[in-house]
Amino acid sequence: MPVTGIESILCRDVFHFEPVLFHNNPVVVDGGDFAEFFTRGPLLSNVWGGEYLALAVSLTKQLEDLRNCAIDPLFIFSAETERRGKQLEFQLIGARKRLICLQHLKKLEVNGHIYQLLPVLVNSLLVDLLDANGVSHLCSPFGVHRSCASLANNMGCALLASAHEYLLLCADLPNRKYTGFDYIPIQYIKFTPICLQDCGRPRATATEHGRASYTTSPLLTSPTFALPVHKFLPEFTSLRKVAPAYRPAMFLLLGSDAMPRIRLPKSLQILLHKEAGSDYKTRRWNTIISWLSQFAPGSVQPIDQIIACYPPDEKQHWLRSFIECLLDYVPDPIIGRRLSSFLLEAPRSNQPDTRDQALLDSSCSDNKNDQLLDDSMDGKTFISKVFQGYGTTKLRRPDFTSSWPANLVRTFHQSQFASYLFVPLYCPGGVVLPTVVENPSISASVWDAALPLRALFYRLLSGLEHQLGYPEKLLGLKPGATEYARHGTSIVRYSIPVDPFFLDSKTDSTDELLATVLKLPRLDGGTNLGSLLSLSLSLCLWHRWHISNDETTPSSPEESPLLLAVVVCAVANSINCSDTFDVELVKHYGSILGFAENVLSATDGKTANVTQSAKHVLPVTFRLDYVHEYNSIQIIYTCFKSVVVLLDQLVPTERRSKYFRFSPPWEVFPSGRLVHWLAACIANQEPPMRLHCASGFWLPRLIRVHHQTATAATLLQRGTSLFTLFMNKTRAIVEQLLPAAPLGYVKQNVPTFELDAFKPIEMEDGVVVMDDNSVDSLEYVEPFSSPVLRATSTSPQMSPQPPSHPNCEDTSRTASVSQQQRKAHAKHLGHGNISLQELGTHSNRKPPGNLWKGGRRQTGYADRLRQRLLSKQNESK
């Protein structure tokens, strides 16, 4: 739940962080935050449809840095099927705001929202890269924030992420026996390892605040590397003034995307608006802190006072929404233990209730309390129980994978599916499809061409749930699937009928089902394309969609500039990446695309006389329609992969696909910018000459050869043969393709949700009080730059000076507490913990079990992860 303004409140003081050198430790990583952070490269990196090869090289370096620091990462992803309150409306508003960015791209301009338009295959690339490097990862069936927080707490290790929710979830809650975890914001890390000479095996020492600190032992003499990070210290923030019972409600009262405008008692509004000088969010936060500090832990008086602000007909609705949203900030140890069992591949039962009980320790103190919490309680009683520390087992959303076959569950945990495909089935309200770079002048969205594949995926899973006897799990089907995507210059709702598709495990096979349902020709198996056959079929499906939906007949495959550019890049890259990839290959492609751009600028008569405006960030030869179609091809490719993987898990092993294999994104789609400029150059040729231009001119230049040798000639001949084989196969499939069966879906206009509904404003005597500073501005953080937060920072955002406007308490009391706090913290920093200037000790929580036994560097990530989880299980027993 994005919480606007909370980062500037909790992260602006340098004393809220502890600078440490992080190494020799496990760490849970929010995979989505990690991918988004490192994808935010130079300003125009996201415009071209994905620079996957360059991104793979960059991420590989980051993983190597973690390995050099002996940091064992565990990446967590999520299907994002949990949505609360008004989050759907908030997502639709965000999608509309990103459409403005597309309008700017049409005019060769960009705005701040360009960083939110992530490439299509970013998460898929990260997953494939983690597999290639032997790094553990897991896709959770629960919300990503509670999954990461619960697992980090269960494993007793740090969490690396950037979402605001972790600022609250990392704090300990004594009333729940929840110890929290060390939260390391990714945006404050300098990803440049520091070499620590004369460092050895860590040994644990106690600190003043009860957290483990690691000093070095002279047993090992080899140099050790560490990452300079900043660990968030919630105990040194204003959160300490609020009783732990009320902390889960703090972000909701401040305002989030789930509940953006909770009303406050009128007395608080008057106090809130009397404060001047600071922004609205800070004033509201200070007012709430001061107000909640007056109540005894577990009291429902704050809720009573808030409910009194609502009319009688709105009170019950508000209570239900508040309860639903509150659960996202209540730590759940059951989720942590369940994810640990997934990682250990524990035996799974087809009965969800039985498995839930098996994962609960007999010593779990929440067991009795959980029996007292269920949805039959009235709202205030439930909230009172939550404030008193009772668990929430009865109200937890079930694991939607609970009844699936074990092999399908493992495939889901391995992140082999596009995550957005599960939302329309298991989340009420449908899915807001990610906004990617596309041409707003084209009425059809980039998502339209892959709609038959997504509909087939929905039908297959719906049929599985009906066959297993759990159709009630399909909360999103009302009765069809709902998707939200761009159509023209607006967002529309797609209502897609979903008829359950029932498989016959005795006769059905993946290849035959695909041929029957998608109207594909039968494959003879005589092709040597390997994994490129999947790309060939994806291009054929893209071409067929254009035949059915374009007003004019599209070019044949041999004359389509974009298709030829995609093929020539994929073929050349399959040869160049046969062994490995490196930064030199990225530079090689960079020189080719630079040459292509210069050739186009010199020969394109249509743009020769166009003046480059001062507002134009993109070159005048930029073709937004090419990026639009390139993204459409990528979406078809990833949806086709999800369908094939799903079918392979639902049919017997001997009936799985014999033809379709899928390569990592950096092999199939190495560079969107390269594809763009090659397509533009090929389009300048006469249609009959385009095929020869691609194979005879551009392909030999793309294949990397260092010297004119016999080996180089063999590579060129091999590339030409593969290109010819690919085009012949694609042409044959296109000629045999039958028209796709109509889906019968319906497009509907979406009501306009006012952005003002999500601004932090309050009503007082009929007057609307608004503050323009209450909305966070878009601020870009260079991924490889020095961290914004430093121990000696003098910037206003991270200034160590006290805030200019005190909290809503007695001024002298506040100043006294602040001074004592800082003295204690200074003592803490000097007691066995390290600053960025001192290289003596390394602060973190003690890892479980015998993690530090000899020979640690000779074991792999998976072995060490299993060892930690088993040790944790044994300790809990």
Q: Bridge-partner residues for 161, per DSSP?
A: 185
Q: Residue 28 is encoded by which pair of tokens?
A: 């849970």
Q: Tell me the pLDDT tens digit for each residue of 50-109.
A: 999 999 999 999 999 999 999 999 999 999 898 888 899 999 998 998 998 898 888 888
Buried b or exposed e, range 500-533, using 16+ CB within 10 angstroms: bbeeeeeebbbbebbeebbbbeebeeebebeebb
pLDDT score of 862: 60
| 700 within some domain | yes
Q: Residue 544 is encoded by which pair of tokens?
A: 């067929």
pLDDT score of 792: 29
Residue 854 corresponds to which amino acid? G
Round to whole Å and give the CA distance between 516 and 519.
Answer: 5
- The CA radius of gyration of the chain, in Å to the nearest whole number, is 28
User: CA dihedral defined by 142, 116, 159, 122, rounded to 10 degrees?
Assistant: 80
Residues 814/806, Cβ–Cβ less than 8 Å: yes
| 813 within some domain | no
Round to whole Å and give the CA distance between 392 and 150.
Answer: 14
Residue 56 corresponds to which amino acid? A
pLDDT score of 205: 40
pLDDT score of 132: 93
Round to whole Å and give the CA distance between 635 and 450.
Answer: 7
Pairing outcome for strands 26-30 and 158-161: parallel
| 633 within some domain | yes
Residues 253/168, Cβ–Cβ less than 8 Å: no
Round to whole Å and give the CA distance between 535 and 637.
Answer: 7
Residues in contact with 400: Cβ distance below 8 Å, sequence separation at least 6, in sequence order? 79, 81, 141, 422, 426, 473
pLDDT score of 428: 92
| 578 within some domain | yes
Q: Residue 177 is encoded by which pair of tokens?
A: 């026996």
Round to whole Å and give the CA distance between 500 and 661.
Answer: 26
Cis? peptide before 800, omega within 30° of 0 = no
| 734 within some domain | yes
Round to whole Å and give the CA distance between 15 and 827.
Answer: 12
SS (HEC) of 79-100: CCCCCCCCHHHHHHHHHHHHHH
Q: Bridge-partner residues for 137, per DSSP?
A: 75
| 773 within some domain | no
Q: Residue 466 is encoded by which pair of tokens?
A: 């009906």
Triad 191, 194, 198: Cα angle to 5°? 155
Residues in contact with 303: Cβ distance below 8 Å, sequence separation at least 6, in sequence order? 322, 380, 383
| 151 within some domain | no
Round to whole Å and give the CA distance between 832 and 557.
Answer: 67
Residues 177/117, Cβ–Cβ less than 8 Å: no
Question: For the chain, what is the domain count?
Answer: 1
Which residues of the chain are under the pLDDT cut of 50?
A: 199-221, 346-375, 394, 608, 755-756, 758, 760-819, 821-822, 824-858
Percent of the chain exceeding pLDDT 70 equals 74
Round to whole Å and give the CA distance between 512 and 53.
Answer: 34
One-character DSSP codes across 648-670: HHHS-GGGS-SS-----HHHHS-
One-character DSSP codes across 311-332: -HHHHHHHHHHHHHHHGGGS--
Task: Print the domain residue range for 547.
Answer: 529-608+619-740
Q: Tell me the pLDDT tens digit for each residue of 590-627.
A: 999 999 999 888 776 555 455 555 556 788 889 999 99
847-852: long-range contacts, CB 8 A cutoff, minimum separation 24: 847/25, 847/26, 847/156, 847/157, 848/155, 848/156, 848/872, 848/875, 849/874, 849/875, 851/26, 852/24, 852/201, 852/202
Q: Residue 400 is encoded by which pair of tokens?
A: 């939607």
Burial class (CB in 10 A: 0-12, 13-18, 19+), 799: middle
Residue of 57, 132, 126 lying closest to 586 (CA atoms):
57
Round to whole Å and give the CA distance between 138 and 5.
Answer: 31
Residues in the chain: 877
Residue of 458, 390, 397 lying closest to 423 (CA atoms):
458
- Rounded to two decimals, the pTM is 0.82
366 vs 151, 291, 797, 869, CA distance in Å?
17, 30, 41, 21
Q: Bridge-partner residues for 669, per DSSP?
A: none
Angle between helices 52-68 and 31-39 (to 10 degrees): 120
| 482 within some domain | no
pLDDT score of 641: 97
Angle between helices 672-683 and 624-650 (to 10 degrees): 120
29 vs 32, 156, 264, 865, CA distance in Å?
9, 14, 36, 14
